[in-house]
Amino acid sequence: MTFATRFAPSPTGPLHLGHAYSALLAQDMAAANDGVFLLRIEDIDTARSRPHWEQQIYEDLAWLGIDWPQPVMRQSQRLPRYRAALDQLSTMGLTYPCRCNRRDIEAAAGAPQEGVPQFGPDGRIYPGTCRNRAMADAGAEDVIRLNMESAVRAARLRSFTETGETYGGQYPLDPERLITTVGDIILVRRGMGSAYHLSVVVDDADQQITHVVRGADLFEATQIHVLLQALLGLPTPLYHHHTLIRDDSGKRLAKRDDARAIAKYRAEGATPQDIRALVGLIEPSPAPSSG
C-alpha cells in the first residue's frame, strides 16, 4: 500500500512553528517512503474559520517548500459524508441527543472525587444526564453524543500502532479506560453538522491515509478515533505523534501565539531553512564568523 499522510490544519488562526513542524515532518516522511502528502482544511467550525486564514495556510506551506495534490479536501464541503457516518452509528443504537450546556454539565458532575478523572481528550467527561433521550427527539439545540458504554460493547476492539518517539508502541483499546477517562464524546456539535473526532476518522479513511502524523497533544484522542474506525468498519492507519514545539519558557504553542506565526518569521526575513532549524529538523547553520 502506498504511504499516504496528511496535514490537517483548521483555518482559525495563523500557522505557527508547531504546524510547520507537523507539515514538514509529514512531507519528509512521505518523501522518504515514496508516498503522498495530502492537505486537508478542517473548517467545519464555520463560526471560527476564516477564508484569510485558509489563504495564509496555502501561502505559508508553499513558502516552506511543501506541495500537495489538488483539489484540497475541505471539511465544510463534506457534511453528507459525516451525516452518513452518524446515521450508521445511530442505526446501531449508539447515539443520543444532548441539550446540556456547560453549566448543566458542571452541576450534574458534582464535586470532584479523588481518583475520578474530570477531563478527558474530549473535554469534561459527560455525566450522562441525557443518555436516555431518543434520536427521534433530536432538535437544532442539541449536540449528538456517542454512548460510550454501548459503543465499546458493540465494537470489535482493535489496537493501534504508534511510531512516534514519545509513545512508540502497540495500544489495544481498553473499554474500561474509554468509559471512565473519555466518556460520551460529542459526534456532532450544535449547528455544525459534525465534530472533530467523527470528521477526522471519515476523512482519513476517504483520503486513504496510511500514516497519521500530528502533534503529541492528540495522542490521547487516538483511542477515540480507533474506536470510531472499528464501529464504522474503517481501516486504522499507523499513528505518529511528534513532540510539541514549545516556546522559550517551555509552554506549548497555542493558535493565538502570534509571536511564533510563520508569517511573522517570513516578514522578518527568515528562510524556510531557518524554520527547519528552529523546529529541530536540521542543524542550525553556523553563524557567519566575523573575520
Residues that bind ligand GLU (CB under 6 A): 8-10, 42, 200, 214, 218
Kindly state the smallest distance separating residue 99's Cβ from ligand GLU, in Å. Answer: 27
The residue among 29 and 277 lying less far from ligand GLU, judged by its C-beta, is: 29
The 3-class secondary structure across the chain, one letter per residue, is CCCEEEECCCCCCCCEHHHHHHHHHHHHHHHHCCCEEEEEECCCCCCCCCHHHHHHHHHHHHHCCCCCCCCCEEHHHCHHHHHHHHHHHHHCCCEEEECCCHHHHHHHHCCCCCCCCCEECCEECCCCCCCCCCHHHCCCCCEEEECHHHHHHHCCCCEEEECCCCCCEEEECCHHHHHHHCCCCEEECCCCCCCHHHHHHHHHHHCCCCEEEEEHHHCCCHHHHHHHHHHHCCCCCEEEEECCCECCCCCECCCCCHHHEHHHHHHCCCCHHHHHHHCCCCCCCCCCCCC
Kindly state the smallest distance separating residue 199's Cβ from ligand GLU, in Å. Answer: 9
Kindly state the smallest distance separating residue 286's Cβ from ligand GLU, in Å. Answer: 34
- What are the C-alpha distances in Å from 97 to residues 105, 159, 231? 14, 29, 19
The residue among 155 and 200 lying less far from ligand GLU, judged by its C-beta, is: 200
The residue among 42 and 162 lying less far from ligand GLU, judged by its C-beta, is: 42
Kindly state the smallest distance separating residue 66's Cβ from ligand GLU, in Å. Answer: 15
The residue among 218 and 238 lying less far from ligand GLU, judged by its C-beta, is: 218
The residue among 184 and 203 lying less far from ligand GLU, judged by its C-beta, is: 203
The residue among 12 and 90 lying less far from ligand GLU, judged by its C-beta, is: 12
Residue 214 has phi, psi (to 5 degrees) of -160, 175
Kindly state the smallest distance separating residue 221's Cβ from ligand GLU, in Å. Answer: 8
Kindly state the smallest distance separating residue 75's Cβ from ligand GLU, in Å. Answer: 9
The residue among 48 and 153 lying less far from ligand GLU, judged by its C-beta, is: 48
Kindly state the smallest distance separating residue 24's Cβ from ligand GLU, in Å. Answer: 14
